[in-house]
Amino acid sequence: MWTLMIIKPDIVAHPPLLQAVMRELLSAGVMISGARKLQMTSDLASQLYEAHKGKYFFKRLVCHVTSGPVIAMCVDGDVRRILGGSQLYPVPREGEFPLLGSATRSLLFVMWLTLQIQKQR
């Protein structure tokens, strides 16, 4: 089954991470029918994530995917099994890290992922 997969700006902005994601997909046998780097507009992002409209994270999600270029791909394969679900890192329990905003958590995740990639080399 062909599926739309979007690699978000925080990964696209870091070529080594983007290469690692692509390597994982291809080595797991995911077929990529087409890929395009693009700048998502607020209107397009709002339509894409319409199912989340009204949820507390909707504005932040739209802001995030419009903050830089994304890569949209048509893929065939079990991408969720390979890369994980939409929640790539565990959210700290309430009060565990009260000063960490989502940008800081994203940066920490990118740093963690970079370390994982370096360990594999």
The model's pLDDT over 29-47, given as tens digits with 9 standing for 90+, comes to: 999 988 999 999 999 999 9
Q: Taking the model in full, what pTM does it have?
A: 0.67
Angle, CA of 56, 106 and 4, to the nearest 5°: 70
pLDDT at 3: 83
CB 70 within 8 A of CB 9: yes
Query: What pLDDT was estimated at residue 69?
Result: 96
Rounded CA gap, 100 and 103, in Å?
8
pLDDT digits over 82-114, tens only? 766 655 455 444 444 444 455 555 555 555 556
All residues at 6 or more sequence positions from 106 whose CB lies less than 8 Å from its CB, including other chains: 10
- Per the model's pLDDT, the better-predicted residue between 108 and 57 turns out to be 57
More confident residue, 103 or 68: 68
Residue 6 backbone phi and psi in degrees, to 5: -120, 125
What are φ and ψ of residue 2, in 5° steps?
-80, 135
The CATH number corresponding to 2-120 among 3.40.50.300, 3.40.930.10, 3.30.70.100, 3.30.70.141 equals 3.30.70.141
